[in-house]
Each structure stands twice: as structure tokens, then as C-alpha cells.
């Protein structure tokens, strides 16, 4: 829990979302090793609050072609914070991403043209709320603009260009003020594909499952030649998150807003070592 973001993510929603994404990667890796993963997500209110999921080895068997394809995408998927090309995402790829999210029991709402103005207003309002908070600004600066040798945070090389006043969707500076201004004529795309990962239920378990759905969607997008980046501020500010839920309707709870399109993947962010994130324990079988 030392990597919590108390200003941006005080309820640990995005932390559990990230853990869910890692869980999906683990499932794909076990499938690749011909071990069927058996996953149990404890009910909300469990007396082990830091236990988000239990993964046990099931029967052995060859992975499906689809599972192997997504496994190969894990190392290729990188957040793209640079402008996308002005090229629409084909309906076939949209359908594949919707199916990927549904496979994990969630829903992918593709934002329609008539909803873009409302969502844009929510993005900019959430950004203003956060930037008016000194704690948030300090936290953002602390975790962004880092060097490639740093195993945590967002390196300046992966931050993308500095946001400018005319930008509709990309408004957060991940470079801690170090990004260079982009060349004239290299503005962000005017109409990216915007999608919202949501679920009917809420709470810690729902957030873990939504993280699995988000990662399956992102890997599916990568396999289709797409890149993506999150618009996190709408989810992080409670008022705009609630308004987004109203925009979705139908009792859907939004977990992530994603900008998707054709572009160049960002450089890989450094990762912590396996020893830092995996605790291997052995135990004797019960008598």
C-alpha cells in the first residue's frame, strides 16, 4: 500500500483496477504455461481487506489461440500519450473490444457523437478541480517526469507532449513540466474513440473485475493495431464520476474512461523486479 495515491485515488479504486489488470496478465501467463487458472475474488467485507484474489492451479491443457494472442500483447501494450492519427476505428475492432469487456462480466460503452460535448465538459471540470488541489499537484509532480532508470512512476520519455489550451481531451501533463512544446500542426486528434468500462455492481470486487476487463480490452486493442490512454480525472473526482454514471444510465457504474485510436505506442515504462512483486512460498501438503 506504499504506492497509494491518496490525493488522486483516496478510495483505492484505481489501485484495485490496476491489480485486476495484473490479475488478467497472470491468468494469461498461466494459460500460456498450460495451467488453467482458477480465480476466486473474495466477497466485499471479507476479513482480509488486502486480499483481492486467490489464484490456484487447475487442470493442465493447451491454451486457446485467442489466449495466446493476448499473452503476446502484454509486452507490446504501452500507454500512448501522444496525438493519434485522424483515422476512425473500424466497427469490427470496436465490436472485438466490446466482446473482450463482456467476457469479464463488464460493459464497454462507446461514447456517441451526441455525448462528446458532455464528456468533454466533465474532463475539463475534473481537471480544474484536481489542479486547484495543492495535494494533488504535489502528488502528480512526485510520480511523473521520472527517469527511465526509476522502476516506478511515469518517466518523462513516456509523458507525451505538453498539453495546450486547444486540446479537447488530453489535459494532464505527465512530464512534471519537462515536456517540450510540440511542433505546429501536430495537435491531438479531434475525435478519438472514447469508451467507458463499467459494471452493474460496485465495490472492491467489482473494481478488480473491471481491471481484468480493462486489460483484456487494451490487449485486444493492441492486437488490432490500436493504442490507448486513460482519461482518469473523470473517474478520480467523485462529482464527475457520478455525473458520468448518469450519462451512461441503466445503473452502470463507470470504472475507466479510455481514449483509443491509431498511433505510435509510447516507450515502455520501467517495471519493478519480479522479486519485488512476487512472494513465493511453499508449504507441505496437509496430512
Round the average pLDDT of the chain to a whole number and report it: 90
Q: Where are the domains of the chain?
A: 13-276
- Give the mean pLDDT of 30-53: 90
Taking only the tens place, the pLDDT of each residue in 217-250 is 999 999 999 999 999 999 999 999 999 999 999 8
- Give the mean pLDDT of 121-129: 95
| Pairing between β-strand 54-60 and β-strand 35-40 as defined by DSSP bridges | antiparallel
**Nearest alpha carbon to residue 123 among 257, 248, 247:** 257
What whole-number distance in Å separates Cα of residue 21 and Cα of residue 10? 19
Query: In the structure, what pLDDT confidence band is assigned to residue 130 with cuts at 50, 70 and 90?
Result: very high
Residue 269: per-residue pLDDT = 73
Quick check: 286 pLDDT over 70?
Answer: no
**Nearest alpha carbon to residue 255 among 9, 65, 22:** 9
What whole-number distance in Å separates Cα of residue 237 and Cα of residue 92? 33
Identify the weakest region by mean pLDDT among 43-47, 141-145, 171-175, 177-181: 177-181
What whole-number distance in Å separates Cα of residue 22 and Cα of residue 211? 8
Is domain 13-276 in CATH 3.40.109.10, yes or no?
A: yes
- What cell numbers appear for 260 in the block? 483509443
Name which residue leads in pLDDT, 251 or 168. 251
- What cell numbers appear for 211 in the block? 481491471
CB-CB contact of 259 with 168 (8 Å): no
Name which residue leads in pLDDT, 36 or 191. 36
Quick check: 285 pLDDT over 70?
Answer: no
Quick check: 287 pLDDT over 60?
Answer: no
- Give the mean pLDDT of 248-277: 86
| Pairing between β-strand 154-155 and β-strand 227-230 as defined by DSSP bridges | unpaired
Sequence-separated (6 or more) residues with CB below 8 Å from residue 208: 16, 17, 19, 20, 23, 41, 52, 53
Residue 219: per-residue pLDDT = 99
Taking only the tens place, the pLDDT of each residue in 202-226 is 999 999 999 999 999 999 999 999 9
For 215, half-sphere exposure in the C-beta direction (CA atoms, 13 angstrom radius) is 26
Taking only the tens place, the pLDDT of each residue in 65-119 is 999 999 999 999 999 888 899 899 999 999 999 999 999 999 999 999 999 999 9
What whole-number distance in Å separates Cα of residue 17 and Cα of residue 5? 13
Residue 56: per-residue pLDDT = 92
- Give the mean pLDDT of 154-159: 80
Name which residue leads in pLDDT, 267 or 10. 10
Distance of CA 270 to the CA centre of its chain: 17
Identify the weakest region by mean pLDDT among 28-32, 80-84, 271-275: 271-275
Residue 90: per-residue pLDDT = 97
**Nearest alpha carbon to residue 8 among 103, 137, 156, 100:** 137
Query: In the structure, what pLDDT confidence band is assigned to residue 282 with cuts at 50, 70 and 90?
Result: low
- Per DSSP, the three-state class of 120 is helix
**Nearest alpha carbon to residue 76 among 232, 226, 251, 197:** 226
CB-CB contact of 227 with 82 (8 Å): no
Residue 283: per-residue pLDDT = 56
CB-CB contact of 59 with 36 (8 Å): yes
- What cell numbers appear for 190 in the block? 479531434
- Give the mean pLDDT of 263-281: 76
CA-based end-to-end distance of the chain: 35
Residues forming a β-bridge with 254: 198
Amino acid at each position: 500500500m506504499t504506492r497509494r495515491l491518496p490525493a488522486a485515488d483516496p478510495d483505492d479504486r484505481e489501485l484495485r483496477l490496476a491489480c485486476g489488470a495484473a490479475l488478467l496478465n497472470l491468468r494469461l501467463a498461466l494459460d500460456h504455461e498450460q495451467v488453467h487458472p482458477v480465480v476466486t475474488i473474495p466477497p466485499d467485507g471479507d476479513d482480509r481487506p488486502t486480499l483481492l484474489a486467490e489464484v490456484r492451479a487447475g487442470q493442465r491443457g493447451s491454451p486457446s489461440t485467442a489466449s495466446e494472442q493476448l499473452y503476446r500483447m502484454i509486452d507490446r501494450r504501452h500507454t500512448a500519450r501522444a496525438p493519434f492519427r485522424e483515422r476512425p476505428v473500424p466497427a469490427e475492432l470496436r465490436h472485438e473490444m466490446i466482446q473482450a469487456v463482456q467476457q469479464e462480466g463488464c460493459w464497454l460503452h462507446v461514447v456517441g457523437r451526441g455525448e462528446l460535448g458532455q464528456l468533454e465538459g466533465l474532463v475539463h471540470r475534473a481537471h480544474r478541480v484536481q489542479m486547484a488541489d495543492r495535494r494533488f499537484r504535489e502528488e502528480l509532480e512526485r510520480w511523473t517526469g521520472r527517469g527511465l532508470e526509476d522502476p516506478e512512476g511515469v518517466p518523462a520519455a513516456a509523458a507525451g507532449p505538453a498539453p495546450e489550451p486547444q486540446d479537447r481531451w488530453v489535459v494532464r501533463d505527465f512530464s512534471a513540466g519537462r515536456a517540450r512544446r510540440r511542433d505546429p500542426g501536430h495537435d491531438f486528434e479531434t475525435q478519438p474513440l472514447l469508451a467507458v468500462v463499467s459494471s452493474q455492481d460496485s465495490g472492491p470486487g467489482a473494481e478488480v473485475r473491471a481491471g481484468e476487463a480493462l486489460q483484456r480490452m487494451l490487449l485486444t486493442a493492441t492486437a488490432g493495431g490500436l493504442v490507448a490512454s486513460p482519461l482518469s480525472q473523470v473517474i478520480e473526482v467523485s462529482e464527475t464520476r457520478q455525473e458520468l454514471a448518469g450519462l451512461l444510465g441503466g445503473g452502470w457504474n463507470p470504472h475507466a474512461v479510455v481514449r483509443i485510436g491509431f498511433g505510435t505506442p509510447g516507450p515502455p515504462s520501467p517495471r519493478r523486479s519480479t522479486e519485488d512483486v512476487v512472494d513465493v512460498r511453499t508449504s507441505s501438503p496437509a496430512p
